[in-house]
Amino acid sequence: MRAACGRMAARGAEAAASIILLVTLTFVLAHASPGGPAYAIMGLKVRPDTVAAVDHQIGADTALWLQYLTWWKHLLQGSLGTSYLLNQPVTGLLLGYAGRSLLLQVSGLGLGVILTLAGGIAHGKFYDTRFGRLLGAIEIMFYAMPGFVIGTFLALLCAGLLPSSGIADLHHAAPSLADRLRHLLLPALSLGLMTYSGLARYLAEGIAAELRLPYTRTALAKGLGPWAILSRHVLPNALRPLITLLGLSLPALAAGSVAIESVFAYPGLGWLLWRSALSHDYPLLIGGVLLTGLATILGNLAADMVNTILDPRRLYA
């Protein structure tokens, strides 16, 4: 019990340090970029005296360290500030767009896990055969393709069969669940293929390595069937490092959703952050990065907990 509490306390401290480092670095990089909030609010042709007035109004003319401390003060009070560009509370904007992105990412992650398990098990079981090498080539092909290329390929492949833009048909005042799922399928499948291409090979190599160990031959000699050995012994051992990789892949999943949302005109958090970056909307950009970072850290914590349940020896590592 003491070991478990100590490990979780250490992971909590690491998570807190990661959040502080992430927010600090993002804040500095965002404010070091060319342009400024006045240009985001008033446009590029704004007069210098107007720029000075706007900067003074929002506090952008104060020292950078003072802006940083003020932003942390507001953050601890539960406020992420106001969007320079949209003039709306950042928290409300993020929550409004994050719901759609969360649905997309969870759907894509679910499809990716299914594809990874199916493809990785088949690849690992037939690792040194022509079929296994074919599956490996498919994994590398998708891994080498950027997310927007995968999305564009699927949109062209399924043209006329599935909708390739938006979240529902515009002519429907109250779109049905089936309509929303039809619009979600291609973006989610694009993210699923990205997840599959990054993880399936690791699972296949883990399964192939486990199948070469003496205990699998012993179990086979005792009369246990190949698929029983795979499901009861090989797969649990091969899944442990994959769960960690799955937690670490959350940032890539979030980054990939930005490209996928652009390809399929999907109004989610990725599209909102891309727009805020182009317009130097610092409060919205920093709030979005913080939200994404928190999701990533929590995902890694969840992966660590699942791995600990699968292998209690990690408590004493």
Amino acid at 299: G
Enumerate long-range contacts of 138-146, CB under 8 Å, 24 or more apart. Answer: 139/196, 139/197, 139/200, 139/201, 139/204, 140/197, 140/201, 141/197, 142/193, 142/194, 142/196, 142/197, 143/197, 143/198, 143/201, 145/197, 146/259
The torsion angle over the Cα atoms of residues 296, 18, 33 and 74, rounded to 10 degrees, is 90
Structure tokens that stand for 108 in this block: 């894509």
pLDDT tens for each residue of 92-144: 888 888 888 888 888 998 999 999 999 988 998 888 899 999 999 999 999 88
Q: What is the SS3 assignment for 82? A: strand
pLDDT tens for each residue of 149-178: 888 888 888 877 888 777 766 555 566 777
CA 298 centroid distance within chain: 12
Q: Between the ranges 233-237, 252-256, 310-314, where is the mean pLDDT highest?
A: 233-237
Can you give the pTM of this predicted structure? 0.71
Beta bridge partners of 82: 89
Beta bridge partners of 89: 82
Mean pLDDT of 52-62: 68
pLDDT tens for each residue of 31-50: 665 555 666 556 556 667 76
CA dist., res. 96 & res. 181, Å (int): 19
pLDDT tier at 250, thresholds 50, 70, 90: low
pLDDT tens for each residue of 180-238: 788 888 899 999 998 898 888 888 888 888 888 888 878 777 777 777 777 777 888 88
What are the structural domains of the chain? Answer: 2-76 (no CATH), 90-316 (1.10.3720.10)
